[in-house]
Structure 1
Amino acid sequence: MGKGQGQPGKSAAKLASRGKGRPTASEAGVGRDALIDAARALLQELPPSQVTSTAIARKANADPALVRYYFGNRENLLFEVAKQIGEESNRPLPPGDPLALLEDMIRGTFRFTRSAKHMQRLMIEELDSASSPEVREKMREWNRSPVSNYARILEFDDEGELREFDPFFMYLAVVGISDFFVSGAPLIELLAPSGTTKEELAKSYEDFVVRLITDGVRKR
C-alpha cells in the first residue's frame, strides 16, 4: 500500500513543480507576451544584470516559473525582447533612394535605443556571453541583418551618389553614436544648454547625427 500510494504522490509533486505558475497565468491573464512586455519595461529602468526572472515575473504579476515554462530560461526571454524591439529595423530593405534608406536606418537605430534604453548593453553584456550556444547564434544572425541592410544601400546606389563605406563599421558607428545618448546621460545632462528638455535634445542630436553621416558619405 505504501508503495502504491507513494508513486502517485511523487508524480503529483513532479507535475506540480513543472506546472507551477500555469494556474496563475490562466487566472491573471499572464502569458508569454506579458512577460516580454514586463522585461522590456524593466530594461527602461534597470541595467540588464538586474532584470532577473524574479523581477520580470514580479513586474508581470506572475510566478517566476512562467519564465521557464514559456522561454526555458531568462536568456531566451531577453533575446525575444531584443528581437521584438529590433524587428522593424532588421527587415530587408526594399529598393529605393540610397540616401533616404541610410537616413531611415540611422533613425531606426535611434528608435531601437529609445525603445529600451539598456538594450545595447543587454546585447553586449548579456546575450553575447550567453551560456546557450543557440542564443548566441540567434543573436549573431540577428545582428548580421542590419549589416546586410547597409550593404544593400550601396548596392542600390546605381548613380554613384555615395562614397564607399564598410557596412560593418557603419553599423558599429551608428549603434555607438545612438547608444551614447543613453550611456553618457550624466555628461550630457551636465553640458546640456539650460532650459533644453531631454526630448528636444534627443531630437536635435538625432537630426545632427543623420546630417553628419549622410553628408559624410554623399559625394560632392
Structure 2
Amino acid sequence: MSTENLADSVNAAEPVAQAPEQKRSTRDQLLDATGALMTENNTTSVSFGEISAKSGVNAALIRYHFGSKQGLLEALLERDAGDNYEAMHKLVHTDWDPVQKMRLHIHGVIRLYQRVPYLNRLLIALQSESDTDIARYIMDRFTTPVVEAERAILEQGVAAGVFRPTDPILFHFSLIGACDSIFHSRSALLELVGVDMIDDKLRDRYAEHVANLLMNGLRSEPEEAKPAG
C-alpha cells in the first residue's frame, strides 16, 4: 500500500467531521474553552475561572451543564475521543491484511493525538483522581477497547504468519508513549526542531516513523534453518 493510499485509508477510517454549527451552544463553548486551555497551557489543570474567561460564559453554568469539574472533563473526553471507537471497531473487522490494519491504526492514533494532545494525561487524571466506579468506567469506555482492538489485530497477524507473538499491553504502552511524548514535549520540539506545534506534514512524518519502528518489531522472522544431520 502506497503512502498516499495509506493516508486516504486513514482518512476513510476516521469519523467524518460534522459541519460546524452557526452558533455554538453554551455547553459546547465551555468544552471548546477547556480543550483550548489544556492545549495552550500544556496541562489538564484548568480552573473554572480560566474556563469562564476563555469562553465568555459565567462559571456557574459549568455546574449547571456538567454538575462538576469532573463531569466537564468526562464530557470533554467523550467529545474528543468517543467517536473514534466505531471507526476502530470497523477497522478490526475489515478483510484487509493485518499489516495494513496496524499501520492504519498507528496513523489514526497519532492523528487523534495531534487533535487532542492532552488526551493521555486527561485519561490518567480521570482514572487516578476519580472514585473507583468512575475510574473503572473510564478504563472500560476508553482504554480497554483500544487494547482489545490492538490485541485482535496482533492475533490476526500471528495467525497470518506476519507478526511474531507480542504482548498487546506492552505494544499499547509503546504506541501511546510515542504519541504522548511528542505532543507533550513542546519545549523540546522548539529547541530541537524549531517548532512548538506539530503541523500535518510533521505529524505524517512522525506517524510513518513510529509505524516503521513498531511494525519492524512485530515482523515475524522465518525460522532459522536447522543444521543437516
**What is the number of equivalent residue pairs in this alignment?**
189
Shift of 1:189: 2.9
State how far apart, in whole Å, the 1-side matches of 2:144 and 2:205 are: 29
Q: 2:166 matched to which residue of 1?
A: 165
The normalised TM-score by structure 2 is: 0.72
1:1-57 Cα shifts (integer Å, max 9, x gaps): xxxxxxxxxxxxxxxxxxxxxxxxxxx9643233222222222112111x2223223
Q: Decide whether aligned partners of structure 1 residues 134 and 55 sit closer, same or farther in structure 2, where only a CA change above 3 A counts.
A: farther
| Preserved CA contact (<8 Å) 1:35 1:67 | yes
Q: How does 1:103-182 map to 2 (within 5 A)?
A: 103-124=103-124, 126-141=125-140, 142-157=142-157, 158-182=159-183
Which structure is larger by alpha-carbon Rg, 1 or 2? Answer: 1
State how far apart, in whole Å, the 1-side matches of 2:218 and 2:130 are: 39
Q: Which amino acid aligns with 1:153?
A: I
Q: Decide whether aligned partners of structure 1 residues 174 and 88 sit closer, same or farther in structure 2, where only a CA change above 3 A counts.
A: farther
Shift of 1:112: 2.1
Q: 2:102 matched to which residue of 1?
A: 102
- Unpaired runs of at least 5, structure 2: 1-22, 222-229
Runs of 4+ in 1 over 6 A off after TM superposition: none
Aligned CA-pair RMSD: 2.4
State how far apart, in whole Å, the 1-side matches of 2:65 and 2:131 are: 16
Shift of 1:88: 4.0
Shift of 1:116: 2.3
The normalised TM-score by structure 1 is: 0.75
Q: Secondary structure at the match of 2:160?
A: coil
| Preserved CA contact (<8 Å) 1:41 1:116 | no
Q: Which amino acid aligns with 1:59?
A: K
Q: Which moved more, 1:198-207 or 1:175-184?
A: 198-207
Give the fraction of aligned pairs with identical amino acids, expressed as a percent.
25
